[in-house]
Amino acid sequence: MRCWNCHESAPAGDRCPACGRLQPFEEGGDHWSRLGLPRRLSLGGEELEARFHALNRRFHPDYYQRRSEREQAISLENSAAVNVAYRTLRDPIARVEYLLGLMGMPLEGGQGQPPAELFEEIMELQERLQEYREVRGDGAKLERRLAADRADLGARKAEVESRLFGLYPRWDELAERDGEASRGLLGEMRTLLATRAYLRTILRDLDEVLGTAERTE
Amino acid sequence: MADLVIGIDLGTTNSLVAYMDGDLPRVIPDREGRALLPSVVTFGPDAPVVGEGAKRQLIRQADRTVYSIKRFMGKGFEDVREELRYFPFRVSPSQEVVRIRIGERELTPPEISALILRELKQWAKAHLGREVEKAVITVPAYFNDSQRQATKDAGRLAGLEVMRIVNEPTAACLAYGLQRKKEGIIAVYDLGGGTFDISILKVKEGIFEVLATNGNTHLGGDDFDRELVDLILREVRERHGADLAADPEAMQEIRLGAEAARVRLSAEEWTVLTIPFPQHGFTFRREIGRAELERLLERLVQETLEPCRLALADAGLEASQLDEVLLVGGATRTPLVRRRVQELFGRVPHSELNPDEVVALGAAVQAHILAGGITHMLLLDVTPLSLGIETLGGVMSVIIPRNTTVPTSAKEQFTTSVDGQTVVDFHVLQGERELAKDNRSLARFELRGIPPMPAGIPRLEVTFLIDANGILQVSARELRSGTAASVEVKPSYGLTDEEVERMLQESYEHAEADVRARLLIETRNEADTVLRATEKALGQGAGLIGPEEADRIREALEALRAVRDGEDLDLLRERLDRLNQATLHLAEVLMDSVLREALRHRRVTETPEKR
In A, which residues are within 8 Å of B162 by CB distance? none
Subunit contact B465:A65, Cβ cutoff 8 A = no
Q: Which of B190, B253, B357, B478 is catalytic?
A: B190
Query: Which residues, other chains included, contact A155 with Cβ-Cβ below 8 Å and sequence gap of 6+?
Result: none
Asked if residue B606 is part of any domain, the answer here is no
Minimal Cα distance from A214: which residue of B?
B313
In B, which residues are within 8 Å of A83 by CB distance? 380, 404-408
Q: Which of B372, B379, B405 sits opposite A87 (nearest CB)?
A: B405
Subunit contact A65:B467, Cβ cutoff 8 A = no
Q: At what angle do helices A45-59 and A69-90 cross, to 10 degrees?
A: 170
Asked if residue A38 is part of any domain, the answer here is yes
**Which residue, of B267, B296, B325, is where some domain finishes?**
B296
Q: Is the pLDDT of residue B514 over 80?
A: no
pLDDT digits (tens, 9 = 90+) for B331-368: 999 999 999 999 999 999 998 899 999 999 999 999 99
Subunit contact A87:B404, Cβ cutoff 8 A = yes
pLDDT digits (tens, 9 = 90+) for A119-150: 777 778 878 877 777 776 667 777 888 888 88
Query: Both B32 and B95 in a single domain?
Result: yes
pLDDT, residue B158, reads 95
Asked if residue A217 is part of any domain, the answer here is no
Looking up residue A59, the CATH number of its domain turns out to be: 1.10.287.110
Looking at chain B, the whole-number percentage of residues with pLDDT higher than 90 is 60
pLDDT, residue A114, reads 63
CA distance B227 to B219: 12
Looking up residue B406, the CATH number of its domain turns out to be: 2.60.34.10
Q: Is B168 a catalytic residue?
A: yes
Q: Is the pLDDT of residue B611 over 60?
A: no
A87 touches chain B (CB under 8 A): yes
CA distance B577 to B568: 14
pLDDT tier, A177 (very low <50, low <70, confident <90, very high otherwise): confident
pLDDT digits (tens, 9 = 90+) for B254-296: 999 999 999 999 999 999 999 999 889 999 999 999 999 999 9
pLDDT tier, B575 (very low <50, low <70, confident <90, very high otherwise): very high
Asked if residue B426 is part of any domain, the answer here is yes
Query: Both B168 and B66 in a single domain?
Result: yes
**What are the C-alpha distances in Å from B321 to residues B173, B184, B302?**
18, 9, 22
CA distance A45 to A80: 20
Q: Is B411 a catalytic residue?
A: no
In B, which residues are within 8 Å of A87 by CB distance? 404-405, 408
Query: Both A204 and A129 in a single domain?
Result: yes
DSSP state of B241: -
Return the HEC string of B27-48: ECCCCCCCCCEECEEEECCCCE
**What are the C-alpha distances in Å from A193 to residues A125, A166, B3, B281?**
21, 13, 52, 75
* Average pLDDT, integer, range B19-32: 93
Asked if residue A215 is part of any domain, the answer here is no
Asked if residue B518 is part of any domain, the answer here is yes
Q: Residue A98's closest CA among A186, A5, A10?
A: A186
* Residue B358, Cβ density class (10 Å: 0-12 exposed, 13-18 middle, ≥19 buried): buried
**In this structure, are strands B65-67 and B161-167 parallel, antiparallel, or unpaired?**
unpaired
Query: Both B404 and B509 in a single domain?
Result: no
Query: Both B23 and B126 in a single domain?
Result: yes
Query: Both B445 and B466 in a single domain?
Result: yes
pLDDT, greater one: A156 or A112: A156
Query: Both A80 and A128 in a single domain?
Result: no
Query: Both A156 and A122 in a single domain?
Result: yes
**Which residue, of A90, A124, A156, is where some domain finishes?**
A90
Chain B interface test: which of A27, A35, A59, A62 (most B C-beta within 10 Å) = A62
Subunit contact B207:A84, Cβ cutoff 8 A = no
Q: Is B9 a catalytic residue?
A: yes
Q: How many CB atoms lie within 10 A of CB B214?
A: 27
**Which residue, of A54, A73, A90, is where some domain finishes?**
A90
pLDDT tier, B608 (very low <50, low <70, confident <90, very high otherwise): very low
Query: Both A39 and A120 in a single domain?
Result: no
Q: Check residue B474 and give left, alpha or beta (phi > 0: left; psi -120 to 50: alpha).
A: beta
Per the prediction, chain B carries an average pLDDT of 90
Query: Both A70 and A146 in a single domain?
Result: no
CB B6 within 8 A of CB B123: no
Query: Both B576 and B587 in a single domain?
Result: yes
A208 touches chain B (CB under 8 A): no
> Measured in whole angstroms, how far is the alpha carbon of residue B187 from the centre of its chain?
26
Query: Both A63 and A127 in a single domain?
Result: no
> Measured in whole angstroms, how far is the alpha carbon of residue A207 from the centre of its chain?
23
Helices in chain A by DSSP H: which ranges? 31-34, 45-59, 69-90, 92-102, 119-133, 139-177, 179-210
Which residue range forms the structural domain that includes residue B187? 5-220+297-380
Tally the domains of chain B. 4
Question: Highest mean pLDDT range out of A108-112, B211-215, B421-425, B607-611?
Answer: B211-215
Asked if residue B608 is part of any domain, the answer here is no
Query: Both A79 and A131 in a single domain?
Result: no
Query: Both A126 and A190 in a single domain?
Result: yes
**Which residue, of A55, A90, A125, is where some domain finishes?**
A90
pLDDT tier, B132 (very low <50, low <70, confident <90, very high otherwise): very high
Q: Which of B378, B410, B466 sits opposite A57 (nearest CB)?
A: B378
Asked if residue B463 is part of any domain, the answer here is yes
Q: Is the pLDDT of residue B556 over 80?
A: yes
Asked if residue A152 is part of any domain, the answer here is yes
CA distance B290 to B223: 17
pLDDT, residue B95, reads 67
- For the stretch A186-193, contacts whose Cβ atoms lie closer than 8 Å and that sit 24 or more positions apart, written own/partner, are A186/A99, A186/A100, A186/A103, A186/A105, A187/A105, A189/A96, A189/A100, A189/A164, A190/A100, A190/A105, A190/A107, A191/A115, A192/A160, A192/A163, A192/A164, A192/A167, A193/A93, A193/A96, A193/A97, A193/A100, A193/A107, A193/A164
Q: Is the pLDDT of residue B533 over 90?
A: no
pLDDT tier, A212 (very low <50, low <70, confident <90, very high otherwise): low
pLDDT digits (tens, 9 = 90+) for B428-444: 999 998 888 899 999 88
Asked if residue A106 is part of any domain, the answer here is no
Which residue range forms the structural domain that includes residue A137? 116-210
Query: Both B176 and B158 in a single domain?
Result: yes
Quote the minimal CA–CA distance from B556 to chain A in Å: 57
pLDDT digits (tens, 9 = 90+) for B73-91: 999 888 888 888 888 888 8
Looking up residue B326, the CATH number of its domain turns out to be: 3.30.420.40
Q: If you write DSSP's letter for every residue of B360-374 in order, what string do you get?
A: HHHHHHHHHHHTTS-
pLDDT tier, B609 (very low <50, low <70, confident <90, very high otherwise): very low
* Average pLDDT, integer, range B177-192: 90
Tally the domains of chain A. 2
Query: Both B198 and B149 in a single domain?
Result: yes
Asked if residue B368 is part of any domain, the answer here is yes
Asked if residue A61 is part of any domain, the answer here is yes
pLDDT digits (tens, 9 = 90+) for B210-258: 999 999 988 999 999 999 999 999 999 999 999 998 888 899 999 999 9
Q: Is B52 a catalytic residue?
A: no
Query: Both B286 and B339 in a single domain?
Result: no
Peptide bond preceding B407 in cis form (omega within 30 of 0): yes
**Which residue, of B448, B470, B495, is where some domain finishes?**
B495
Least confident of B149-153, B306-310, B345-349, B597-601: B597-601
Least confident of A23-32, B4-13, B76-85, B142-151: B76-85
Looking up residue B269, the CATH number of its domain turns out to be: 3.90.640.10
CA distance A128 to A107: 29
pLDDT, greater one: B228 or B447: B228
Query: Both A149 and A203 in a single domain?
Result: yes
In B, which residues are within 8 Å of A77 by CB distance? 409, 465
CA distance B25 to B504: 31
pLDDT, residue A213, reads 44
pLDDT, greater one: B495 or B208: B208
Quote the minimal CA–CA distance from A120 to chain B in Å: 30
pLDDT, residue B610, reads 39
In B, which residues are within 8 Å of A204 by CB distance? none
pLDDT, residue B518, reads 67
pLDDT tier, B504 (very low <50, low <70, confident <90, very high otherwise): confident
Subunit contact A65:B405, Cβ cutoff 8 A = no
Q: How many CB atoms lie within 10 A of CB A56?
A: 23
Asked if residue B607 is part of any domain, the answer here is no
Asked if residue A101 is part of any domain, the answer here is no
Quote the minimal CA–CA distance from A138 to chain B in Å: 32
Looking up residue B577, the CATH number of its domain turns out to be: 1.20.1270.10
B404 touches chain A (CB under 8 A): yes
Asked if residue A16 is part of any domain, the answer here is yes
pLDDT digits (tens, 9 = 90+) for B480-493: 888 777 787 777 88
**Which residue, of B380, B413, B447, is where some domain finishes?**
B380
Quote the minimal CA–CA distance from A78 to chain B in Å: 9
